[in-house]
Amino acid sequence: MAFMAMVIATGFIIVVVIGLAILLLGVILDIIWGVRKKKEENVPVVLKVFALLFTIWGVLQGIGPLAIVAGMSIKSKLDYRHEVSSLPKDSVIHLKEYEDLDNGFDYKGKHFEGIHYKRNDFNSYKGDEHFKTTKEGAIVFDNGKHYLIEKVENNRDSDIFILGLVDDPYIAVDEVDDIIDYYRNEAAYICDVSEDFNEENTTVYTVDSDKVRAIRDYVEAEGRPYGPKESEIKDRFYLYFYSEDAMYYISFSCMETADGLVVEDYGDYALLSDSDAAYLRTFLEK
């Protein structure tokens, strides 16, 4: 990470220096043009063209990036004043570098670490951009940049945070197991039904969540890494079961075969019992 930052910074400096050199050449040609014109001497068209070309090129390549950096710096300071300065002191964390987040952070007596989204563990259904959040605090780095700490609204009212451009949610390490257990084994589910990827999903709000969990557990325990051949599949439909706050979901790809209903979940395939298959088919009728 540090090496990449050094390479980018070096490249930026080289681009700007070359741009300023081109601008200087353009200015010299402009001066020659002006002197010749003042002496009422003929000014070659080539001189005019290159004087204008190098001047414009030099401004864009030499001055432009510096202006952008200055603008970003000003914007960062304004954002800081707007987003961070109004927060209580105990809501602002100071870290040296972005890499320090790899070890998590301490916030109000709890240690938070990033939880990677993974199969049936902690996996948001609709993505961070769909979460409802409230500003909780901020992490400020030595370079002046900052990430807002935003609390995701969730059914448990647990401290589940997302940080700026960081993909993974951050959860207090001593609460992770309880939160995952809640979403896997207690949360009520909603279902989105799709018979075709190109069509809009139908949402079903009446779900036997315990039944769905039992099917999920069966596929996890008995599933195999191979499914029916394409020629053996008579029909398909897709069921997406997710918690009301969309913090967790289970995805079933359902395939009708001569032997019965085969369900695929994260690469595991299992042939369901007649009763489980009949239950999943009821979602097509709702």
pLDDT of residue 85: 77
> And the tokens for 245?
């706050």
- Tell whether 194 and 255 lie within a shared domain: yes
The alpha carbon of 154 is separated from its chain's Cα centroid by a whole number of angstroms, namely 19
3-class secondary structure, 46: helix
- Tell whether 153 and 176 lie within a shared domain: yes
Residue 76 CB neighbours (<10 A): 14
- Report the percentage of the chain scoring pLDDT > 70: 87
- Tell whether 278 and 208 lie within a shared domain: yes
Closest to 138 (Cα-Cα) out of 77, 86, 97, 100: 86
Q: How many residues does the chain have?
A: 286
- Tell whether 193 and 180 lie within a shared domain: no
**What's the total number of domains in the chain?**
3
> And the tokens for 136?
């909780």
- Tell whether 193 and 264 lie within a shared domain: yes
pLDDT of residue 232: 94
- Tell whether 38 and 99 lie within a shared domain: no
3-class secondary structure, 14: helix
- Tell whether 180 and 194 lie within a shared domain: no
Closest to 201 (Cα-Cα) out of 155, 153, 249, 134: 249
According to DSSP, the β-strands at 133-141 and 92-95 are parallel
- Tell whether 154 and 200 lie within a shared domain: no
Alpha helices in the chain (DSSP H): 2-38, 45-58, 64-83, 176-185, 209-222, 274-281
3-class secondary structure, 263: strand
Q: Which of 167, 184, 201 is where one domain is finished?
A: 184
- Tell whether 73 and 148 lie within a shared domain: no
pLDDT of residue 15: 84
Q: Which of 83, 104, 120 is where one domain is finished?
A: 83
3-class secondary structure, 29: helix
- Tell whether 164 and 200 lie within a shared domain: no
- How far is the CA of 279 from the CAs of 165, 182, 197, 207, 251, in angstroms? 40, 23, 22, 10, 15
Q: Which of 64, 83, 102 is where one domain is finished?
A: 83
- Tell whether 213 and 232 lie within a shared domain: yes
Spatial distance between the Cα atoms of 207 and 191, rounded to a whole number of angstroms: 7
pLDDT of residue 169: 83
Domain with 130, as residue range(s), is 89-184
- Residue numbers in the chain where pLDDT is lower than 50: 1, 120
- Tell whether 107 and 178 lie within a shared domain: yes
pLDDT of residue 1: 47
